[in-house]
Amino acid sequence: MAANGICRRKDLHISKIYITKSRNETIALGAKLAKTLKPGDVIALIGELGSGKTTLTKGIARGLGVKGCRYVNSPSFVIIKEYPGKKILMYHFDVFRLDSSGGHGTIGYEEYFYGGGVCVVEWADRIKKLLPKKYIEVKIDIMKGNNRKISIKK
């Protein structure tokens, strides 16, 4: 995995762009990201179907010390899965199936977003208005082959 650049802007975030060339590199990047996380952090994952959102989440789980992190999968039908890490709980959301008509109010997201764990939200762009003011945006773009362009804004 190669860091392509760092952009520092006073008015926005610090951005880093990575190119991963395999599933294992995407997992490794997720584990690296996890080492920077603290309780209360929300990671907003954005990317098309098959881009690697769940794969990156497996890496975050690995970095947080979740036992059996290879079994982390998308909570498409249950919306939220909870994984105990060594020191921090990880809450894994998949909001793909939520519509914009307000059904998201029943999932109790506030207790997770403003709690003591780390929240990883797949399809976060679908609930952008509900995200806390401060979150980490991770955008994954599919490139040629297994390559992924992963942009992280803090």
Q: How far apart are the first and last CA of the chain?
A: 19
Within the chain, which residues score under 50 in pLDDT? 2-12, 101, 106
**Model confidence pLDDT, tens digit, residues 58-77:** 999 999 999 877 777 776 66
**CATH code assigned at 101:** 3.40.50.300
Q: What is the pLDDT of residue 87?
A: 87
Considering its fold, how many domains does the chain have in total?
A: 1
Q: What angle do CA 17, 153, 123 make, to 5 degrees?
A: 100
**Model confidence pLDDT, tens digit, residues 22-41:** 999 999 999 999 999 999 99
- Which domain range does residue 104 map to? 2-153
